Amino acid sequence: MALLGGIRTEGTVVPTWARNLKHWTTMASGSGSLRDTEGRVAGRCVLRHLEVEGTDEVELGYGLHTPYWGRGLAT
Those residues whose C-beta lies under 8 Å from the C-beta of residue 20, and which sit 6 or more positions away, are 30, 31
Report the Cα 10 to chain-centroid distance in Å: 18
Taking the C-alpha atoms of residue 40 and residue 60, their distance in angstroms, rounded to an integer, is: 22
pLDDT of residue 5: 61
pLDDT at residue 2, rounded to an integer: 46
Residue 59 has pLDDT above 70, yes or no: yes
Rounded Cα gap, residues 46 and 10, in angstroms: 22
Model confidence pTM above 0.85: no
C-alpha span between 42 and 58 (Å, rounded):
23
Question: Virtual CA dihedral for 34, 67, 2, 29, nearest 10 degrees?
Answer: -20
